[in-house]
Structure 1
């Protein structure tokens, strides 16, 4: 993909989306690292899920940046759909089985600890992907 095509894709909403995903990747990675290093034995499920969400945000960020290629576009779809399912399932379970999530994850309570950004972000990501399919020569 040419640099000018990538630059055009990464303007406006696309650029903001990538920045928010990158911030979430950093936040989730930092949170999971501290949780796993300091107190993994207290809540291994919750802290493993935090690490999984960090990995998903990293992959989604990279995939959105390179979504001009069909391969990265598909990876972006998979990562963001996985993120959406994760936040909906973990969010629901954290209300239905609160003892299971006494220690919060990034996606607990639908991302309440992150101002519900984890709940809203995948919808914007999927919208952007749908409206910006890859254009390859």
Structure 2
């Protein structure tokens, strides 16, 4: 029996993937810190916004873990997180512009991530592109 060999890069945690993981970790720390402080100190002011920031923090943490793991399971976790993140940032971004009354304070994803230099909008696109580039090929 011969084993199938893959060609091309397949490790999500090597090369530019390390920078991507570092950015995800940075955003995980920033979103976790911000959401925790907001939930603890003034949750009643904007509960939806603060809970969405907490959700973003969880997604960033899990995405970073998925990208760090080099195997199939890690890739699947990272893929799911990048897709949830993309839907989240586009959905919350559009909704926060359409109904600003529901967002008295910003989330990480408000205005398509404008408060963070639109990096939250670019990050899932870069993550999906990296997962595509590093996919196993037969």
TM-score, normalisation: structure 2: 0.88
Correspondence for 1:82 = 84
Q: 1:41 aligns with which of 35, 41, 44?
A: 44
**More helix as a share of residues:** 1
Equivalent-residue separation in structure 1 for 2:113 and 2:93 (angstroms):
7
Task: Give 1:134 deviation, angstroms.
Answer: 5.1
How many positions carry a matched residue from both structures? 127
Correspondence for 2:127 = 125
Q: 1:51 aligns with which of 48, 51, 54?
A: 54
Correspondence for 1:94 = 96
Equivalent-residue separation in structure 1 for 2:12 and 2:110 (angstroms):
32
Structure of higher RCO (CA pairs closer than 8 Å, 6+ residues apart):
2
Asked which structure has the greater CA Rg, the reply is: 2
Are the counterparts in 2 of residues 70 and 134 from structure 1 also a CA contact under 8 Å?
no
- Do the aligned partners of residues 80 and 94 (structure 1) sit closer, same or farther apart at CA in structure 2, a change above 3 Å counting? same
Are the counterparts in 1 of residues 12 and 130 from structure 2 also a CA contact under 8 Å?
no
Equivalent-residue separation in structure 2 for 1:102 and 1:110 (angstroms):
16
Structure 1: unaligned runs, 5 residues or longer: 1-7
Equivalent-residue separation in structure 1 for 2:120 and 2:108 (angstroms):
8
Secondary structure of 2:128's counterpart equals: helix
Correspondence for 2:4 = none
Are the counterparts in 1 of residues 28 and 57 from structure 2 also a CA contact under 8 Å?
yes
Cα RMSD after superposing both structures: 1.3
After superposing on structure 2, the runs of 4+ consecutive aligned residues of structure 1 that deviate more than 2 Å are 8-12
